[in-house]
Amino acid sequence: MAVKTVTLDELIVEIDKIPKIFSSKPFKEFIADKCLNVLNDIQSYSLGDYDADNTDISRYQNNHKVEYGNDYLLIFNDTNLDQGDMWWVSEETKEHYPDGISIAYIVEYGTGILGTSQDDWQTDINGHGNKGWVYNNPNTGRPTWTRGMEGRFIYQKLLDRVKKDFGKWVLEYMEDL
């Protein structure tokens, strides 16, 4: 098998192409596709205990967005719940959320006692104690105790996977050129 020799000038021309490849729209689309696939995997195991009929979570799961910039790729979720759809919240509490509430934040960071995994977060500001509080469950029509929802850290898990797999993805993309 013969080895192809390359002159220094030819090598410099090829090396100069590399920054253009990584800032190209096809490369960004390739990485975005990888990230969205990873998000689907993460959601399957991180959100699997939600009721399949939970339309708010379904909206979140189907609302990941991609934004392409000159020197960046942004993947985000801005799913929001309007005030009228906040059935579990008292009218007094709704006043604190005139623009609705971010489902994306709730899924990522959690709510209530179960959503407090940071030492510097202020917790139990209304003095409910560790037992939680009651809301009227529209599915059963009965009062139901809750302690909140644990944060699922979907995007943190995505970032961890991107850090782990990015080099592999770049090599995969380069092989197809």
Tell me what the mean pLDDT of segment 42-65 comes to. 80
Q: How far apart are CA 1 and CA 3, in angstroms?
A: 7
Of 132, 97, 102, residue with least CA distance to 116: 132
| Predicted pLDDT at 163 | 97
Taking only the tens place, the pLDDT of each residue in 24-41 is 999 999 999 999 999 999
∠ CA 9-12-14 to the nearest 5 degrees?
A: 115
- Alpha-carbon separation of residue 175 from 5, 54, 104, 170, 172 (angstroms): 20, 42, 36, 9, 5
Q: How far apart are CA 171 and CA 79, in angstroms?
A: 33
| Predicted pLDDT at 140 | 80
Q: Where are the domains of the chain?
A: 10-78+155-177, 80-151
Taking only the tens place, the pLDDT of each residue in 96-131 is 888 888 889 888 887 766 555 555 556 666 666 666
- Tell me, what amino acid is at 42? I
Q: How far apart are CA 96 and CA 135, in angstroms?
A: 18
- Residue 89 phi/psi, 5-degree rounding, is -110, 140
Q: What's the chain's average pLDDT? A: 82
| Predicted pLDDT at 172 | 94
- Top mean pLDDT of 59-63, 73-77, 99-103, 146-150 is at 73-77
Beta partners for 157?
none
| Predicted pLDDT at 36 | 98
For residue 134, the surrounding DSSP H or E stretch is strand 133-137
Taking only the tens place, the pLDDT of each residue in 122-171 is 666 666 666 666 777 777 888 877 777 778 899 999 999 999 999 999 99
| Predicted pLDDT at 35 | 98
Tell me what the mean pLDDT of segment 39-62 comes to. 80
| Predicted pLDDT at 16 | 77
Check residue 121 and report its DSSP letter. Answer: S
